[in-house]
Structures are given as C-alpha cells and as structure tokens.
Amino acid sequence: MAGPTNTQDVVAVYDYLVGYIAEHQHPPTLEQISRATGCGTPSTARRHLIRLRKRGLVSWEWRAQGTLHICPGDEAEGEEGMTSE
C-alpha cells in the first residue's frame, strides 16, 4: 500500500492532467507531467499514471502518443478514488 506522500503525488498528477487537458485539448508529455508536479523523473510520472489507470481514472492506448485521456465521470468524484491503492 502506498504511503500518504505517494498518494498525494498521484493526486497532484491527476489534478495536473485534468487542468492541462481542459486548457490545451491534448495530454501533456511525461516530461511535462514530471516537471509540473515535481514527481522527479518521467519514469516516476509514468508509475503514477499506471496507478491512475488501475483505478480507472485515466486511460490510453499502449505505445501510442497523445492518447492519454481522463475517463468520463471521474472528474466529479474528486479525490475519493485516490484514497486506496
């Protein structure tokens, strides 16, 4: 199970994605996510995205750039989906 800091990092990534996609109409790169959220490296950002995907909050096509999207209906749920690993 993830510690509180890890969960906070995942929430920060999710919040950044929601805002970025709403503003730009396309997903950010892993580098942009890692810089904006302070999660360290693109590989750390990727791990957070995988956690979000397992929770059903985001989705993308494997090996296809620009396909990351927020799953419908999840924005209204807020951080509730983030509390358990």
The string of pLDDT tens digits covering residues 6-18 is 889 999 999 999 9
**What is the distance, to the nearest Å, from the Cα of residue 12 to the centroid of all Cα atoms in its chain?**
8
Residue 79: strand, helix, or coil:
helix
Q: Domain 4-82 maps to which CATH number in 2.40.30.30, 1.10.10.10, 3.40.50.300, 3.40.228.10? A: 1.10.10.10
Q: Give mean pLDDT, residues 45-62.
A: 94
Residue range 21-33, pLDDT digits in tens: 999 999 999 999 9
The full set of domain ranges for the chain reads: 4-82
pTM recorded for the entire structure: 0.78
Please provide the DSSP assignment of 24-75 as one string: HSSPPPHHHHHHHHT-SSHHHHHHHHHHHHHTTSEE--TT-TT--EEPTT-G
Q: Which residues, at least 6 apart from 20, have a Cβ–Cβ distance to it below 8 Å? A: 27, 28, 32, 36
